[in-house]
Amino acid sequence: MTGNFADLSHHQIRYDVPAYSSHRKAVALKATEGAGPNAFTDPTFAERWKASKGLRRIAYHFARAKNNGADEFAHCWAVVSAAGFDPRNDVIALDVEDPNTPDRAAVNAREFANAAVKAGLMFGLVYTYPNYADANRIVANLFPPGWRRLWYANYSRLADDQITLPPGWSRDQFYARQYSDQVNVAGVGLCDDNRILKDWMQPTTSTGDDGTMAWSDQDSKNLSDLLGAVRDTYRVGFASRDTAGNDDPTHHFASISGVNTALGEVNGHLGAIHMILSDVAAALETALAGVTAPGVPVGAPVTEQPPAATVAPAAATVAPEMDTAPQTPEPPQGS
Amino acid letter for position 76: C
How far is it, in rounded angstroms, from Cα 270 to Cα 264? 10
Q: Mark which of 152, 171, 196 sits at the end of a domain.
A: 196
Whether residue 67 is found in the same domain as residue 147: yes
**Same domain, yes or no, for 72 and 129?**
yes
In a domain, 293, yes or no: no
Would you say residue 182 lies in a domain? Answer: yes
Question: Are residues 90 and 127 both part of a single domain?
Answer: yes
Same domain assignment for residues 227 and 279: yes
What gap in Å lies between CA 270 and CA 283, rounded to an integer?
A: 20
CA distance 143 to 300: 48
- Determine, yes or no, domain membership for 53: yes
C-alpha 179/C-alpha 326 separation (Å) is: 20
CA distance 140 to 157: 25
Confidence (pLDDT) at 312: 45
Q: What is the DSSP letter of 53?
A: B
| 225 and 243 both lie in a single domain | yes
pLDDT value at position 203? Answer: 45
CA distance 147 to 229: 13
Number of residues written out for the chain? 335
Residues 74 and 119 in one domain: yes
- 15 and 162 in a single domain? The answer is yes
Q: Are 119 and 146 in contact (CB under 8 A)?
A: no
Q: Same structural domain for residues 283 and 154?
A: no
Question: What global pTM score does this model have?
Answer: 0.64
129, 161, 196 - which closes a domain: 196
Which CATH number characterizes residue 239's domain?
Answer: 1.10.287
CATH for 118: 3.20.20.80
Cα(66)–Cα(100) distance, rounded to whole angstroms? 8
Say if 300 falls within a structural domain: no
The last residue of one of the domains, among 166, 196, 226, is: 196
Question: Are residue 109 and residue 220 in the same domain, yes or no?
Answer: no
Q: Looking at the 3D structure of the chain, how many domains does it have?
A: 2
Can you give the residue range of the structural domain that contains 232? Answer: 206-287
d(CA 262, CA 279): 26
For each of the chain's 335 residues, which pLDDT tens digit applies?
Answer: 789 999 999 999 999 999 999 999 999 999 999 999 999 999 999 999 999 999 999 999 999 999 999 999 999 999 999 999 999 899 999 999 999 999 999 999 999 999 999 999 999 999 999 999 999 999 999 999 999 999 999 999 999 999 999 999 999 999 999 999 999 999 999 999 999 999 987 543 334 433 333 445 555 665 666 666 666 666 665 555 555 555 555 554 555 555 555 555 555 556 556 555 655 665 566 556 555 444 444 444 444 444 444 444 444 433 333 333 334 444 444 55
| Residue 222 belongs to a domain | yes
Could you tell me if 9 and 22 are in contact, meaning their C-beta atoms sit under 8 angstroms apart? Answer: no
**pLDDT at residue number 269:** 54
Residue 312 falls within a domain, yes or no?
no
pLDDT of residue 288: 61
Residue type, 247: D
Q: What pLDDT is stored for residue 287 in this prediction?
A: 57
| 191 domain residue, yes or no | yes
Same domain, residue pair 57 and 167: yes
Residues 191 and 145 in one domain: yes
- Asked if 15 and 42 touch (Cβ cutoff 8 Å), the reply is no
CA-to-CA distance for 96 and 138, rounded, in angstroms?
Answer: 8
Asked if 136 and 277 sit in the same domain, the reply is no
Tell me, yes or no, whether 142 lies in a domain.
yes
